[in-house]
Amino acid sequence: MKKAYRTFIGLILTAMVVLCLPGLKEFTASSAADTDKLEVHFIDVGQGDATFITCGGHSMLIDSGDDSKGTAVQNYLQKQKVQKLDYLILTHPDADHIGGAPVIITKFEIDRVFVSNYEKDNRTYQKLIQALDNKRLKAVTPDVGETYRLGSAKITVLAPDRIYDNPNDASLGLLIENGDNRFLFTGDAEEPAENDILNNQADISADVYHVGHHGSRTSTSEKFFNAVKPAYAVISCGEDNAYGHPHAQTLNLFRANAVEVYRTDEQGSIVAVSDGTQISWNCSPSTTWKPGEPSDPGFQKKSDNCPTQITYICNTNTKKFHYPSCSSVCQMSGKNKKTVTISRDEVIAQGYAPCKKCNP
């Protein structure tokens, strides 16, 4: 009798577990067996962002390059046999992120469009709104903490959590998980927005970090980097871009931490493939460590030993600091010239301001 009673209780428990399983599945990481292949294509759009992601037959696009790249992104997606995008995500309304979107919106069927809460009043933005209207698409800003599915991958919204004055800071931030593999996207979010993401206590550790703001030193603060601790960093930027992206400070941080860096200005479109456990790449990482800033002959050598230290020439009279290669250095009188090999923050802390010409 006692044994029969135990069996009965056992059956009830088993039934409860089975009934609860569909609900549980949503909240547990998918096992290797039901993990789809996730492909992340960092499309070369010159200076700008456009990242195509596909998993289990579902697709999304994060940003679209500037308006001269809309057709190139369209062609790239068509080569990938994309007919429909489950999501179009426009991180923030700067032209190098949304300029190509009207072409994409016009040419593809799109289920959902997510945008930043930052609105701009310019022609590029108006063209985007017009294209959305023409397709009767409504763009929404998802809330922080919301999750979405792309095949077996899970997308978690990390930002923006408030209204910002700087459109870059208002960038949509996303973490994409596929099995054990994690990819982080922060658009052009700069340090204030990174701090807000950190304050929200979400786990932002990631294998692959799509580097904020094209490798600018105004993003990827050390604190933020330490929370992400990526094995791989991908920088979307254009060759010889006007902003000097990626900045030496950001590259040095990656180099000092043995992060493998991929960059679209050197390698063209870059593809990462996740099977849920491992990530493989279509090319080898970049080994140039070449910043987009004016080149400093001392940089490569110095950074081997002490990656965050750079040689600068300070003018003790004007209180400006320069790269050694800056033309102002030739004109500087010997008695005002002081050579230092320290980090950029340290030289600023000593009361020097960056030269406007070489922008160190």
Please give the residue ranges that form the binding site for Zn ion (CB under 5 A).
94, 96, 168, 188
φ, ψ (nearest 5 deg) of residue 65: 70, 180
- Evaluate the omega torsion of the peptide bond into residue 324 and state whether it is cis, within 30 degrees of 0: no
Nearer to Zn ion, 59 or 171 (CB): 171
Compute the least distance from the CB of residue 106 to Zn ion, in Å: 22
Nearer to Zn ion, 44 or 96 (CB): 96
Compute the least distance from the CB of residue 324 to Zn ion, in Å: 29
Q: How many Å from the N-terminal Cα to the C-terminal Cα in the chain?
A: 84
Compute the least distance from the CB of residue 117 to Zn ion, in Å: 15
Nearer to Zn ion, 25 or 162 (CB): 162
Compute the least distance from the CB of residue 30 to Zn ion, in Å: 32
E-strand ranges in 202-336 read 208-210, 232-235, 260-263, 270-274, 279-281, 310-315, 320-322
CA angle 345, 304, 245 (to 5 degrees): 55
Query: Cα 316 vs. chain centroid, distance in angstroms?
Result: 38
Nearer to Zn ion, 193 or 272 (CB): 193
Q: What ranges in the chain are assigned the alpha helix state H?
A: 2-25, 70-79, 95-98, 101-107, 123-134, 191-199, 222-228, 248-256, 264-267, 299-305, 327-331, 344-349
Nearer to Zn ion, 159 or 313 (CB): 159
Nearer to Zn ion, 30 or 47 (CB): 47
Compute the least distance from the CB of residue 245 to Zn ion, in Å: 9
Q: Which of 131, 42, 49 is nearest to 91 (CA)?
A: 49
Beta bridge partners of 214: none
Compute the least distance from the CB of residue 92 to Zn ion, in Å: 6
